[in-house]
Amino acid sequence: MAKYITECKLNFFQSRKAGKIAVVTMDNGQFPNIPNTWGVEALESLNKTLDIVEKDKDVKGWFLTGKPFIFNVGADIMSADPNAKREDALAIGATGHAAFKRIMNLPYPTLAAYNGASMGGGVEVGLYHKYRTISKSPGGCDHYALPECFLGLVPGWGGTQLVTKLCGPEIAIELVITNPLNMNRMINSKKALEMGLADRMFAPAEFVDESLALLEGIIAGEEKIERKAVDPKMSDELYNKTKAAIVGRVHGGALAPYRALDLIKGAGEWSLDEGFQKENEALADMITSDQFKCGLYSFDLTQRRAKKLPGRPPKEVKGNKINKIGVIGAGLMASQMALLFAQRYQCPVVMKDIKQEFVDKGLAYCKDQLAKTVQRGKLSAADAKWIGEDLISGSVTYEPFKDCDFVIEAVFEEMGIKQKVFGELETVCKPECMFLTNTSSLDIAEMGKFLKDPSRVVGFHFFNPIAMMPLVEIIKTDKTNDVVLATAFDIARKIRKTPVLVKNASGFLVNRVLTAMSDGIFRLLDEGADFLQTDKAVHEMGFPMSPFTLIALVGPAISLHVLETLNKAWPDRFPVNVGLKNMVAKGKKAILILGDKGVVVDPEILAGWPQGNKKFTDDEIRQRVLERIAVEVDTILKEGVVASPKDVDTGVIMGAGWPLFMGGITPFLDQKGISKKVTGDDFHPNGFLAIEK
């Protein structure tokens, strides 16, 4: 990708009332879809502009803004050198601090006008100005964030220090730690104004006019900016509370939020230069950390690579037009699908089940969900009525399916039933209608084998809850034709999901990796590992939930079913676990229960779980589980279930919520030396940050 350098373009404005004002525009000369960023050249450009402005004795004010829709989205992280030495990493922080501080030292009023998207170093440069304005959302500064912790970094150009001094530690924690860890939440201009990050908010239409007029007024002494005093000191209570919250989110896994918290606390005690020095050190530690490299990798995976739809047949293969959709089944999963399709496609969606009462229940579920959306103010009552009553309909016959463009089945996970459903559909549906299946474990080729045209069948595997989880596994059989496959990708995109192309192999991708992980854990337990210790040791690596919590969420019976399916395919690697089987037989829903003295293992489960007497350290537990995962990922790749380790990582990030700072899983396995030990080589022999051809 070509590199577009953001320049700091200087114009002098001779104001009638305020005199000469330096108007500086950050602009990379590209349309808004390529935003302004900070890089070495951009900082050089800023320094050159400052050289001119500092020398000019007539200048009475400094005004900084961006190009339309974009202020500056911060350091260009994709161009960061993943192999930076610590000295270089220290210099990155110091260079930014030094350049921005020159703005702070200008001896006259300075104003930053956050006209559009402002992130990271973009937010930070504004903080060195004496005054700040922000353009009203929507259409103005809709995205304002210090997202560094999300990527495994800390704000290193003054963010932790200046936000704390300007707005106090609570606001700094929210902006620097809480929001990034909350799925990288961004704030809009209204919120930024409330938080004290801007002094005035103006509508986008005349935002630059009014911001410049404000600066003129300040210089002329006509305008005064009042701010409420803040105490930058952080109480121990707030520190401990925040630390506990971080532990709750990322456990011991991610380093950055802890470092950020210490920097924010320090801001209440240190001088500015001391604080900047500490930021440089923290930033250098983070830039040279394994976690940041994983963060970069994940960012590229989810923000860039996934959007290119790897695995879709070439663009020339046009997907089918979708004007009507069928869903077989009206249970929870089916209803969720029907709702999602109706909302995104805004076309008729029909659900079929064997009994009218099931159908009615599904329809009621959809209406209920729509009503909740209306309550949240995200949908009008009229649209809810339209989607719920006019678009979504139910049936107990196949009659309404004859003009569907695709039908997705979500019936009971039993091959015979699914084959029967597809067979019946073939007699009513038009020939170009595609058959999708949401099966999580069955052989899709087998499912379509009695059809006259098995090329119309493709797997389309959602993750629960459908509305939340961004992943869809698209499963191609040997027969699936290219138009059907292309359409499946288009459907995923239309419903705003991330598709991963997977071969028709038992357990597909994500469930197979998760089950391998469970298998690793079960084997440890069988040998004698302590339940609570194992659960905690694995969780602490940074997974979004502990292994036992996951089993409780999925349901032990389903976990067992998936395990049995995989066992049929690969009995050696996936033995059916006796403990789990006993637990399901007893109708247990969760391994852990709340006892009098806190969380304990359900004694009945413990009793039914044959264990040896070997003991393990936490590290041994983690090592064993990671090795088991590595074996499976290696097998998956060797079998060609997915094309690249990047698909594995996209799958576990989007489908299982595995952390960005582990890069999903394969970069982490490479970094820990586990891939080499298990497979003889890294999953990314050229380094996982090497540019994909």
Partner 1 sequence: MDLRDAYFVDGVRTWFGRSKQDGHYWTTRADDLVNKVIKELIRRNPTVPWDEVDDNIWGATTQVGDQGTTMGRVTVLTSGLSEKVPGFSVDRMCAGGMTCQAIGASFIKTGCADIIIAGGVEHMAHHPMGAGADPNPRVVTEKMVDPKYFNMGVTAEKLHDWLPENGEQPVTKDEADEYAYHCVQKYFKALDEGYYNKHCVDMTVFTPSGWRVANFDEQPRRDTTLESIKNLRKFPFKAEGRVTPANASGLNDGACVSLLMSGKKCKELGIKPKMKFVGGAFIGVDPSIMGWGPVPCTEKVLRNFNMKFEDLDIIELNEAFAVQAVGFMKHFGMKTPVDPRLNPYGGAIAMGHPLASSGVRLSMQLAQDFELNPKAKYGLTTMCVGLGMGGSIIWENTAGKTL
Site of interaction with partner 1 (CB under 8 A): 9-11, 13, 23-25, 27, 29, 65, 67-68, 203, 205-206, 208-209, 212
| Distance separating alpha carbons of residues 162 and 160, to the nearest angstrom | 6
Shortest CB 57 distance to partner 1, Å: 21
The distance from CA 674 to its chain's CA centroid, rounded to whole angstroms, is 25
Min separation Cβ 103 and partner 1, Å = 16
Q: Whose Cβ is closer to partner 1: residue 203's or residue 599's?
A: 203
CB closer to partner 1, 125 vs 267 = 125
Q: Which of 517, 511, 609 is nearest to 558 (CA)?
A: 511
Q: What is the nearest approach in angstroms of partner 1 to the Cβ of residue 97?
A: 25
Length of the chain as a residue count: 693
Taking the complex as a whole, the smallest distance from the CB of residue 24 to partner 1 amounts, in Å, to 7
What does the buried/exposed string (b/e) look like for 138-160 if buried means 16 or more CB atoms within 10 Å of the residue's CB?
eebbbbbbbbbbbbbbbbbbbbb
Of 27 and 124, the one with the shorter C-beta distance to partner 1 is 27
Distances (CA, A) of 642 to 38, 358, 661: 36, 37, 22
In this structure, what token pair is assigned to residue 430? 């038009």
Question: Of 7 and 148, which has the nearer Cβ to partner 1?
Answer: 7
Residue 42: both structure tokens together: 């951009």
Other beta carbons less than 10 A from residue 137's beta carbon: 18
For the bound state, the minimum distance from the C-beta of residue 219 to partner 1, rounded and expressed in Å, comes to 15
The nearer residue to partner 1, 203 or 553, going by C-beta atoms, is 203
Closest separation between CB of residue 124 and partner 1, Å? Answer: 21
Cβ of residue 7: shortest distance to partner 1, in angstroms?
8
Q: Could you tell me which of 308, 307, 290 has the C-alpha nearest to residue 659?
A: 290
- Shortest separation between residue 20's beta carbon and partner 1, angstroms: 12
Backbone dihedral angles phi then psi of residue 325, each to the nearest 5 degrees: -125, 140
Helix axes 556-569 and 547-554, enclosed angle (nearest 10)? 100
Contact by Cβ (8 Å): 482, 616: no
Cβ neighbour number for residue 374 with a 10 Å cutoff? 17
**Residue with Cβ nearer partner 1 (210 or 627):** 210
Name the minimum Å distance from CB 209 to partner 1: 5
Residue 606 CA to residue 604 CA, distance in Å, equals: 5
Alpha helices in 145-289, H assignment, sequence order? 148-151, 159-167, 169-173, 179-181, 189-194, 207-219, 236-250, 256-267, 272-287
> Is the Cβ of residue 47 or residue 671 nearer to partner 1 in the bound state?
47
In the complex with partner 1, the residue whose CB is nearer, 203 or 690, is: 203
Residue 543 DSSP class = -
Cis? peptide before 575, omega within 30° of 0: no
Q: Which CB sits closer to partner 1, 45 or 666?
A: 45
Minimum distance, C-beta of residue 76 to partner 1, in the bound complex (Å): 20
CA pair distance 38, 268, nearest whole angstrom: 27
CB of 191 to partner 1, least distance (A): 23
Identify the H or E element spanning 584.
helix 578-585
CA dihedral 628, 587, 554, 476 (to 10 degrees): 80
Tell me how far apart the terminal alpha carbons of the chain are, to the nearest angstrom.
12
Q: How far is the CB of 29 from partner 1 (least distance, A)?
A: 7
Strand order in the sheet with 144-145: 70-72, 117-119, 144-145
CB closer to partner 1 out of 212 and 637: 212
Q: 41 or 368, CB closer to partner 1?
A: 41
Select 212 or 260, whichever has its Cβ closest to partner 1.
212
Both tokens of 45, joined, read 């450009």
Query: Distance between CA 660 and CA 151 in Å, rounded?
Result: 7
CB of 12 to partner 1, least distance (A): 9
Give 67 or 456: the residue with its C-beta nearer to partner 1.
Answer: 67
Tokens matching residue 79: 């161009």
CA distances from 372 to 343, 367, 427, 491, 515 (A): 14, 9, 38, 25, 35
Q: What is the smallest separation between the CB atom of 8 and partner 1, expressed in angstroms? A: 8
Kindly provide the b/e burial profile for residues 261-275, where b requires at least 16 CB atoms within 10 angstroms of the residue's own CB.
bbbbbbbbebeeeeb
| CB closer to partner 1, 22 vs 475 | 22
